[in-house]
A = this chain, B = another copy of it.
């Protein structure tokens, strides 16, 4: 038996079922008319209404209405659930410490209470993350540009760790910044800080002056800096495109979810 369910139980019956479910470590789902109070980092009150309350064996509690992805009230995992009948009504209290928080659900009417025994299958694998994108670039650097050779990831700099660092076909240092979604000017600023930091580190003047360094860009005059910046992202905002142009950085359009 993986589901125990009672419909329109008395508050006492609901309490018995709930205590049994706590004992078994079940996932509990309660649908009923209730008020909800929360006291802790903030405080809130929720008047009477029909809601779905989920109590998890790891201590998480969720109160959902018929709208929104977010629970209207909740308690994080690690909280402790207790149930009782006070003044003839089922009352569920979930508490945690650090910070001290209390969620109280007082039922006027329990429409349905279900205890769900959960078995296995908790393994998720997620693709399309920034981590995934970096792995793919290390495996096939040509998707950044032909001849690109990554040398380090998470290379430390005064502006923080750069996502990917390497050299291009001409041997010029390249800083690559990865973003998994459309970016605004802030990402360009981040890339600019890395490039600026690296130029300082290598003793290269911002204007592109090359003080005996690792290989100047070909033919160009002093305008071309000896460290390049490349932003890898599915797309950029107009403002970001302007700032990329200002800095002389390149944008590689690459969607992390594409193969």
Residues of B within 8 Å of A257, CB to CB, are: 39-43
Nearest B residue (CB) for A73: B124
Decide: A43 near B114, CB < 8 A? Known: A52-B29, A65-B122, A122-B67: no
Nearest B residue (CB) for A64: B54
- A62 in contact (CB, < 8 A): yes
Query: Which 6 A-B residue pairings sit nearest by Cβ, starting from the closest?
Result: A49-B121, A42-B128, A66-B118, A44-B126, A50-B118, A3-B111
Residues of B within 8 Å of A190, CB to CB, are: none
- A56 in contact (CB, < 8 A): yes
List A residues 73-114 near B (Cβ within 8 Å): 73-77, 111-112, 114
- A51 in contact (CB, < 8 A): yes
Per the bound structure, the CA–CA distance linking A57 and B65 in Å amounts to: 10
Per the bound structure, the CA–CA distance linking A120 and B35 in Å amounts to: 12
Contact surface of A with B, Cβ cutoff 8 Å: 2-3, 5, 7-8, 27, 29, 31, 33, 39-52, 54, 56-58, 60, 62, 64-69, 71-77, 111-112, 114, 116-129, 132, 180-181, 256-257
Nearest B residue (CB) for A67: B58
Residues of B within 8 Å of A57, CB to CB, are: 66-67
A-B contact pairs, 10 of them (CB 8 A): A42-B127, A43-B126, A44-B127, A45-B124, A46-B123, A46-B124, A56-B67, A65-B121, A68-B77, A69-B74
**Pair B66/A56 contact, Cβ less than 8 Å:** yes
Copies of this chain, how many? 2
Residues of B within 8 Å of A112, CB to CB, are: 3, 5, 114, 116
**Pair B111/A116 contact, Cβ less than 8 Å:** yes
Per the bound structure, the CA–CA distance linking A74 and B44 in Å amounts to: 26
**Pair B72/A124 contact, Cβ less than 8 Å:** yes
Q: Which of these, B52, B66, B129, contacts A58 with CB under 8 Å?
A: B66
Nearest B residue (CB) for A123: B47
Per the bound structure, the CA–CA distance linking A47 and B69 in Å amounts to: 23
**Pair A50/B117 contact, Cβ less than 8 Å:** yes
Nearest B residue (CB) for A58: B67
Nearest B residue (CB) for A114: B112
Decide: A121 near B48, CB < 8 A? Known: A42-B126, A67-B60: yes
Residues of B within 8 Å of A128, CB to CB, are: 41-43
**Pair B111/A43 contact, Cβ less than 8 Å:** no
New contact pairs (4) apart from A3-B112, A50-B116, A69-B74, CB-CB < 8 Å: A29-B31, A62-B69, A69-B75, A72-B124
**Pair B60/A120 contact, Cβ less than 8 Å:** no
